[in-house]
Amino acid sequence: MKSVLLGMSGGVDSSVSAILLKEAGYKVVGLTMCLFGNGSCCNMQSILDAKAVCKKLGIEHYTLDFQKEFKENVIDKFIEEYQNCRTPNPCIDCNRYLKFGAMYEFAKEHNIDYIATGHYAKVVYSEEYKRYVITKSKADKKDQTYVLYNIPQELVEHIVFPLGDFESKDQIREIAREHGMLVASKPDSQEICFVPDNDYVNFLEKHNIQGMRHGRIVNTKGEILGKHQGLHRYTIGQRRGMGISSSTPLYVLKLNKENNTLVVGKEEELYTDTVCVSEPNSLLWDKFEDGLEVDAKIRYSAPAKPAVIHVNEDGTLTVKFKEKVRAVTPGQAIAFYVGNILAGGGKIEG
């Protein structure tokens, strides 16, 4: 019997994953990771919910403290990125270093064959590429492959995603109800787990980050249009909340850390066909080759669009889109696809 370590948040997705894995014949071990004090995904109620599910299913459950690792790899990076006038995605770092980092190490130490999570994605073997690959889930609107682009390639064959063949969250909740799970109607968490009330501005200001000084709002010609309230309060593409008036709508184009200015302009100035990418991670090939054609998406909710990857001498990438994309945001991720296969990705630099 193959064994699998399942990351359990106490929510309906991971709870149903436990049901499906057990029904598939795995020896399932549940693990709840304590990441941040009373965070939304690892508070005491979440731990109790996960334990109750495991007890009902007759599977072993562990609760482990990873707060130190979470602070170093997720919270501190989140703060640092905002200090550098970038917009981070902490869930991606959490996946890389905790769910598919520390959790995988725990599985190896305990001779557990696989790790599993409740992400909406699939792992299949590709005869064409002669390796295990991550593909999009059938639940197109719920697909979460974008936040999985930086998983180490060698881990993919050791991962199971039980929810990949479901087309909607309603199906997942129905399975939970059929098995008498109290978490069947538990709402999804939509917030950053370590940011109370999802108020990231207040969170950053409590940590007294650099860059909170007021400064000038300027257009692309350098003309002063007003005063901003601290660059950490703004993101690329933002239109409202700047406190300036104009005969045409103005949008945030750039956060200039060097002179503490907020650069704004017309919507057409938000579009570009070129994206610079650092920290590339290839999942489909041994490495990225110059000229690879992919579909690329620059944010979770954005559609993937045709692009060509160019490899620079320093190992970074320049991605050229065939059509211009809107509001490229430094600090966010870019994910590459070939068909429905997640080919990898990287961090957007501009």
Task: Identify the CA nearest to 140 among candidates 162, 160, 169.
Answer: 169
The set of residues, in sequence order, having a beta carbon less than 8 Å from that of 275 and lying 6+ positions away, is: 296, 298, 307, 318, 319, 321, 325, 328, 334, 348, 350
Number of H helices, E strands in the chain: 8, 17
Which is catalytic among the residues 54, 91, 94, 276? 94
Of 41, 91, 193, 276, which residue is the catalytic one?
A: 193
* CA torsion through residues 147, 152, 154, 158, sign: negative
Beta strands in 159-234 (DSSP E): 159-160, 215-218, 224-228
Q: How many CA atoms lie within 13 A of 249 on its CB side?
A: 10
CA–CA gap between residue 59 and residue 27 (Å, rounded): 8
- Residue written as token pair 């938000």: 270
The sign of the torsion formed by the CA atoms of 39, 44, 47, 49 equals negative
Of 263, 215, 213, the closest CA to residue 238 belongs to 263
Residue 34 annotated to the active site: no
Backbone angles phi, psi at 51, to 5 degrees: -65, -40
Please give the sequence-ordered ranges of beta strands (E in DSSP) within the chain, or none if there are none: 3-7, 27-34, 60-65, 114-116, 121-126, 131-136, 159-160, 215-218, 224-228, 251-256, 261-265, 271-282, 292-297, 305-311, 317-326, 333-338, 341-348
Look at the alpha carbons of 266, 238, 278, 161 in this order and tell me if their dihedral is positive or negative: negative
- Residues paired with 136 in a beta bridge: 121
Listed residue (193, 11, 31, 256) closest to 120, CA to CA: 11
Catalytic residues: 94, 193
